[in-house]
Amino acid sequence: MPTGYSFDNHAAEADAQLATLEAFLDPLTGARLRPLMRAGATCWEAGAGGGSVARLMARAIGPEGRVVASDIDPSHLTAADNLTVVRHDARTEPAPAGGPYDLIHARLLLLHLPERRKVLAEMVSALAPGGWLVVEEFDCTAPLRVLTAPTDDAAKLFQQVMEAILGVLHDRGADLAWAQNVHTEMALAGLTDVDTVTHSQSWTGGSSGAALHDLNSRTLEPRLLAAGISLEQLRAFRQLSRDPAFASLSYQFVSTRGRKAL
């Protein structure tokens, strides 16, 4: 089976998926990145997706700085005066030209790539002395806790479909525990001042966070059906994601950063 990123950026749900993730994660990412950015810096946003973090970087570093936004499918990215867009496969290609970089950021990228340690090493090599690497992932090791549900059967259905979704990601080469290992891997790579913060919150049916479950189930529908989830179950799961009587905890978002020695 092919390995790598499981969500098709050309799928009908892709724009909504990216927008939903940005709405949830950008405030958290911004709080981690802003203290590290300075006017005139050179930055690399790896696996840039919809480009929201690359644009945040471009605004923060000003016209004298430069951001390289890379993605294996850059169709959702738009270049600007200080923002360059490149097609780039982090699994097989060296860091994009333009380094060394004062700041490198990758969000929800490495956990999907079997070559994640090789890619992390490439990022560390591409850092300028004193530069920062920030890697942010979902920790998918534990089932999402159901906080409220209209029925016990609804809660069990949610857990069953979520288990199947994580199974699909695992079968495609994702490391569901990678978020727990990033801090150690950065330290082993020689980075200093390594620190990690985590965040989780409730997602109520009808919220943008809960909508991500619906969108993911649609993008992965053929694989979920092949895994034994019925179309009827998927429809009930999607209805549950819109039901205000339902709530679950989000995935735990883990943000780790480390600095290259001067």
192-244, pLDDT tens digit by residue? 999 999 999 999 999 989 999 999 999 999 999 999 999 999 999 999 999 99
Kindly state whether residue 129 falls inside one of the protein's structural domains: yes
Kindly state whether residue 151 falls inside one of the protein's structural domains: yes
> Concatenated DSSP letters for 176-218?
TTHHHHHHHHHHHTT-EEEEEEEE--EEETTSHHHHHHHHHHH
CATH assignment at residue 220? 3.40.50.150
Beta bridge partners of 71: 87
Q: Identify whether the C-beta of residue 221 lies closer than 8 Å to the C-beta of residue 10.
A: no
Where is 148: in which H helix or E strand?
A: strand 146-148
Kindly state whether residue 165 falls inside one of the protein's structural domains: yes
Domain count, the chain: 1
Task: Work out whether the CA dihedral 141, 147, 227, 138 comes out positive or negative.
Answer: negative
Domain that holds residue 187: 14-259
Kindly state whether residue 118 falls inside one of the protein's structural domains: yes
Kindly state whether residue 1 falls inside one of the protein's structural domains: no
Task: Work out whether the CA dihedral 89, 93, 96, 102 comes out positive or negative.
Answer: positive
13-49, pLDDT tens digit by residue? 778 889 999 999 999 999 999 999 999 999 999 999 9
Kindly state whether residue 98 falls inside one of the protein's structural domains: yes
Kindly state whether residue 135 falls inside one of the protein's structural domains: yes
Beta bridge partners of 139: 252
Kindly state whether residue 9 falls inside one of the protein's structural domains: no
